[in-house]
Amino acid sequence: MKNNSSQRVAAVDVFRALTMFLMLFVNDIPGLKNIPHWLQHAAATEDMLGFSDTIFPAFLFCMGMSVALAIQNRYSKGDSLKQVIAHVFWRTVALVAMGLFTVNSSGVAGLSHQWFSLIMVAGFFLVWGVYPKAEGGRKYLFIAMKVLGIALLAFLVIYKGMNGDPFRQQWWGILGLIGWTYAICAVVYLFTRESLLWNSVACALFIALSVLNHSEVLSTPFIPGDMTLHAFGMSGVVTTLLMQKYASKKHPAKFMGILLALGIVMLAAAFASHPVWIISKIQATPTWFFFCTAAFFPLFGMFYWLTDVKGKAGWFDIIKPAGTATLTCYIIPYVWYAVQQLAGLHYPTLLGSGMPGLLKSLLFSLAVVWITALLVKMKIKLKV
């Protein structure tokens, strides 16, 4: 495959869209009754890989693939190293900040969780929304809107602190963990660039650090986030570089064979590590990493064959906005859940369990994707 950073890779967009769609789904099914246990998240001490436990790491894997493509694209457009570093820094700040707000959204006296969420989302869109280029009065209006967003978020921080529930780091939140993993992968890539060898070495190093951390041999408190999460991200970076070096639409077998081989290696590592660590997303065990990547590598190869080789990306158009406006898609449910609870809206009892409940969650996920598409058409979109 020609190493052209401006070239859009359909498989990456589809993989990201499907992952985001499934994240909406698995975030909506908690609370449903009489649904298969394998669909749900495993408990902290439960030795199981639930379907829900594979979605977050899939997102990190896909994020890693995008890191290499995005940085290459910035350089190809003429950005300097200083500009790229600034972009990585501010994107990390945005994701970590959003993550901290989401984990601190519990209500306090006079401000319920629902109203906190609505003010929070309004602040997010005002601060990190996409504004068109403007001059004169419109330019100052957009600046005022950003300032208003900062003021809303600052109000939430101050109000909670004044009412005895100050902001805490806790566990960073999903967006915060994504932010730290993005930062680590991007910084590594700024040093290694397109070198498949050195990125592979970096990926192997993070896997080794994950094993050492969970063996209690070595601790790395100076690096935010778990090493296992960073290993997922670097696995995605390596996948992109493998694709750029070996993938060919006319002869895809070599690239797909490499990914299948990597999947087999990871599967062997998973079985080898299982006697030592349980499969646990909450504990972020190496076994969890190995089993997940054993699926991700060949699965991406399949998507590449289906979309970029066979040209079937159109099959996934129904969820396409989830791959192109991913952050917007992730944030929208915060609004719906808050409005639903404030208005006292309830689904019929039938939709609270079993297959009807799962279908409800699938339709809800589709509705979120379609609302995202509508917002994008209205030029309302989050971008960091």
The letter for the amino acid at 355 is M
In a domain, 145, yes or no: no
- Quick one: three-class SS letters along 3-37? CCCCCCCHHHHHHHHHHHHHHHHHHHCCCCECCCH
Q: Residue 2: pLDDT band by 50, 70, 90 thresholds? A: very low
How many C-alpha atoms does 192 have within 13 Å on its Cβ side?
A: 22
Report yes or no: 40 and 50 within 8 Å, Cβ to Cβ: yes
pLDDT, position 118: 97
* Residue 159 counted as domain residue: no
Query: 276 φ, ψ to 5°?
Result: -95, -45
Note the pLDDT tens digit of each residue in 55-102. Answer: 999 999 999 999 999 999 999 999 999 999 999 999 999 999 999 999
Domain assignment of residue 102, yes or no: no
Stretch 138-151: mean pLDDT, rounded?
Answer: 95
State pTM to two decimals.
Answer: 0.93
- Please check whether residue 106 lies inside any domain of the structure: no
Whether the predicted pLDDT of 298 surpasses 50: yes
Q: Is the dihedral of CA 117, 120, 126, 130 positive or negative?
A: negative
As a whole number, the mean pLDDT across the chain is: 93
What is the three-class DSSP state of 382?
strand
Give the pLDDT confidence of 101-126 residue by residue, as tens digits.
999 998 788 899 999 999 999 999 99
Distance from C-alpha of 278 to C-alpha of 294, rounded to nearest angstrom = 16
Look at residue 223 in the predicted model and tell me its pLDDT.
75
In a domain, 165, yes or no: no
Average pLDDT over residues 299-322: 95
Domain count, the chain: 1
Q: Which domain holds residue 317?
A: 10-77+195-377
In a domain, 224, yes or no: yes
On whether residue 382 sits in a domain, the answer given is: no
In a domain, 73, yes or no: yes
As a whole number, mean pLDDT of residues 336-345 equals 95
State the pLDDT confidence band at 7, using cuts at 50, 70 and 90.
low
Estimate to the nearest angstrom the gap between the alpha carbon of 347 and the chain centroid: 28
